[in-house]
Structure 1
Amino acid sequence: MAIRRLEHTGIMVKDIEASIHFYTNVLGLELQKTFIHTNEVIKLAFLKFKDSAHTDIELIEGYNDSLPKEGVVHHLAFTVDQLEEEIERFKRLNVEFIDEAPTTLPNGSKYIFFKGPDGEWLELFEPASE
C-alpha cells in the first residue's frame, strides 16, 4: 500500500479571510498559500503548524454557502506517491469514486475524491513535485 500519511483535513468556511485570521491568530497555525481552484469559484487556503513540514488544514470557501452547524469538515485527505496507481488499486477493490477523473491544481498537485463505507468523503492527494 502506498498511502503515506494523513495529508490534511478540508474545512468548509463562509469567509476565508476571517477563517485564516482565526486559525493563524487564535490557533497559531501558519498560512502556507492561498489560491483560486481551477473551477474559478472555490477559494483555498492551506495552513500548517509551525514545526510541521506539510499542510494540516485546508480552508474551502465557495463550495457550499449554507454550511450546517455540524459537519463542516468536508473531507480527510491521504498523501500518495503515485495517484494513478492508487486509483487503479482502489477500482480493483470496488471503491466508489466521487470524481470521474483526478483534478490537477494550479501548483501541480493532483487529487481525487472517493467515498468511505458510510458515504464520508475521502481524498487521495499527490503533492506537486518541488
Structure 2
Amino acid sequence: MITKMEHTAIMVASMEDSIRYYSDLFGFKVRLQGSSETKEMAFLYLEEQPNMEIELIRDINPVGEYNKSGVVNHLAFTVENINEAISYYKEKGIEFLSSEPQPTLEGGRMILFHGPNDELLQLVERVKI
C-alpha cells in the first residue's frame, strides 16, 4: 500500500543552477546529492515538510530518453498571501505567465511561472477557513 507521496522529479540542464534556484528563491535544502555514470541527482526538501521532496536529475550519458514534457504538468507551492509572494518573486526576477492570480476550483488563487529548466511552477493561496 502507498504510505505517502515521495518526490517529484525534474530534468535539469545545470544541477548547480537548479539547486541555487530552488534553494535561494524558495528555501529548499539539499538532503542528498550524487552521481553515477549516467546521471547526476539531488534531492531537495523544505524543513516544514521534509517528507516530500523534489528530485533534480541531469543526464550525463543518457541510457534512454526522458519525455521533455512528460505526463506531470506542474509543481505547485502553497503560499500564505499570493499578492505578497508575487511581489517578492517579481523582485527576484520571476516573470509570471499572467498579470493577476487566477481562481482555483476551491475558491483560492493561483499563478503560474517557469523555472530555470522551463518546468512549469505554480504558487497557490488556499481558501482560508
TM-score by length of 1: 0.45
- Larger relative contact order (CA 8 Å, sep ≥ 6): 1
Bigger Cα Rg: 2
